[in-house]
Amino acid sequence: MKTQVAIIGGGPSGLLLAQLLLRHGIDSVVLERKTKKYVLGRIRAGVLEQGLVRLMEEAGCAERLHAEGHVHDGTLIAYGDEMFRIDFTALTGTPVIVYGQTELTRDLYAAREAAGGSIEFEVEDVAIHGADTDAPHVTYRKDGSDHRLDCDFVAGCDGFHGISRQTIPLDVRREYEKVYPFGWLGILSETPPVNEELIYANSPRGFALCSMRNENLSRYYIQCSLSDKPEDWTDDAFWQELERRIPADQAARLVTGPSIEKSIAPLRSFVTEPMRWGRLFLCGDAAHIVPPTGAKGLNTAASDVHYLNSGLRAFYETGATDGIDSYSARALARVWKAERFSWWFSSLMHRYPDQSDFDLKIQVADLDFLRTNEAAHKAMAENYVGLPY
């Protein structure tokens, strides 16, 4: 088989890239390790920046997002007896959109299928060959037989545990990592959200987040220990703990119900450099991870896709290589700012096992400053809605 761009990974990065390329007449094949059902069963991001919304429009996949996504003009931050609001739209002119990654991925699959684009599911043993030559190829197994895909370029969109990053030799690759000493226990429940906007809460018992997908689907998270397992937490225990961590007036009107999904995610900051090796380009979680506190993971994946799509487009339209040559530097410049914001917001909102009284005082001072200072509000809002591409 032959294609122009071999895309490893059928998550949001790979699918969005495939759709954008298709719109510009560039052929690709998507290789996905799991089934479509499995990919759509993963409950992940919920907050989209305008940049990602615009890319979905460019890909021709934004109709349902516009109809069903919810515009959020601000968010609430609670700590101690205080709760304050950051008004994104007043401060930056831009809101964020609440629309689940599951739905966005579903829309991208539907568009790919409607366009007759190729996706190979349940592929095994994917390997990238000759990425440092002008004629790379990818091999994989499917249904018990071996396949070879020849291509001009390879896009590594296979997430944090994928093989693309590992293909870059260790003497070329440099990795930067910070592991946080806690995780997030998340549940999805068919109950109305406690509040119309998200609430990020720093409580003495640890962080909590009240989020949502729609009027009757809530997404809540609480900071948990890394040794906890989802099955250690009954629904009742989860609701009780959430109630203790959010402001009393919010807790009083929390509607509880059975969870329809419950999972634990560890928190990690991670970046690999460079994001390009020869004709292999890394996109999204394959190259970087952020703790979810700033809602930046999917959105940063989207900006990578934007830079790669524009570089590949310029190459196929005019033969220009400056877009692909500058891909890694351009993507990383934005990635590191998202890393900084996610690290800062995580540090501000969580309780750390080894936090001293001094550290706690500094955290409260940082929160007080954010609450009362206009410039701090603006910096927070600009980062949350997404820095320009």
Which residues contribute to the site for ligand PHB (CB under 6 A)?
Answer: 45-47, 198, 211, 219, 292-295
Q: Residue 299 touches which of ligand PHB, ligand RFL, none (CB < 5 to 8 A by kind)? A: ligand RFL
Residue 365 structure tokens: 């001072």
Q: How far is the CB of 30 from ligand RFL (least distance, A)?
A: 9
Q: How far is the CB of 131 from ligand PHB (least distance, A)?
A: 33
Distance CA 321, CA 332 (A): 18
Catalytic residue among 12, 72, 288, 306: 72
Number of CB atoms found within 10 A of residue 59's CB: 23
| CB of 325 closer than 8 Å to CB of 371 | no
Q: Residue 111 touches which of ligand RFL, ligand PHB, none (CB < 5 to 8 A by kind)? A: none
Beta-bridge mates of residue 214: 217
Q: Residue 120 touches which of ligand PHB, ligand RFL, none (CB < 5 to 8 A by kind)? A: none
Distance CA 387, CA 330 (A): 13
Q: What are the b/e assignments for 104-141, b being 16+ CB within 10 Å?
A: bbbbbbebbeeeebbbbbebeebebebbeeeebbbebe
To the query of whether residue 384 is one of the catalytic residues in this protein, the response is yes
By beta-carbon proximity to ligand RFL, the closer residue of 339 and 356 is 339
Going by their DSSP bridges, the two strands 137-142 and 145-150 should be labelled as antiparallel
Q: Residue 8 touches which of ligand PHB, ligand RFL, none (CB < 5 to 8 A by kind)? A: ligand RFL
Q: Residue 219 touches which of ligand RFL, ligand PHB, none (CB < 5 to 8 A by kind)? A: ligand PHB
Q: Residue 126 touches which of ligand RFL, ligand PHB, none (CB < 5 to 8 A by kind)? A: ligand RFL
Q: Residue 285 touches which of ligand PHB, ligand RFL, none (CB < 5 to 8 A by kind)? A: ligand RFL
Half-sphere exposure of 376 (CA within 13 A, CB side): 13
**Packed helices 12-23 and 101-114: angle between N→C axes, nearest 10 degrees:** 40
DSSP for residue 233: S
List contacts with ligand RFL (CB under 6 A).
8-14, 31-34, 39, 44-47, 101, 123, 126, 157-159, 161-163, 184, 186, 265, 284-285, 292, 295-299, 301
Half-sphere exposure of 27 (CA within 13 A, CB side): 10
Catalytic residue among 288, 296, 350, 377: 296
| CB of 153 closer than 8 Å to CB of 5 | yes
By beta-carbon proximity to ligand RFL, the closer residue of 184 and 233 is 184
To the query of whether residue 200 is one of the catalytic residues in this protein, the response is yes
Q: How far is the CB of 96 from ligand PHB (least distance, A)?
A: 9
Task: Name the closest residue to ligand PHB (Cβ).
Answer: 46
DSSP sequence for 185-230:
EEEEESS--SSSS-EEEEETTEEEEEEEEETTEEEEEEEE-TT--G
Distance CA 300, CA 284 (A): 7
Q: How far is the CB of 360 from ligand RFL (least distance, A)?
A: 26
Catalytic residue among 79, 200, 307, 316: 200
Label residue 285 left, alpha or beta by phi (over 0 means left) and psi (-120 to 50 means alpha): alpha
By beta-carbon proximity to ligand PHB, the closer residue of 107 and 120 is 107
The 3-class secondary structure across 260-316, one letter per residue, is EEEEEEEEEEEEEECCEECCEEECHHHCEECCHHHCCHHHHHHHHHHHHHHHHHHHH
By beta-carbon proximity to ligand RFL, the closer residue of 8 and 59 is 8
By beta-carbon proximity to ligand PHB, the closer residue of 164 and 293 is 293
Q: How far is the CB of 142 from ligand RFL (least distance, A)?
A: 11
By beta-carbon proximity to ligand PHB, the closer residue of 124 and 215 is 215
Dihedral sign from CA coordinates of 9, 137, 120, 310: positive
Q: How far is the CB of 9 from ligand RFL (least distance, A)?
A: 3
By beta-carbon proximity to ligand PHB, the closer residue of 47 and 224 is 47
The residues annotated as belonging to the active site are 72, 200, 292, 296, 384
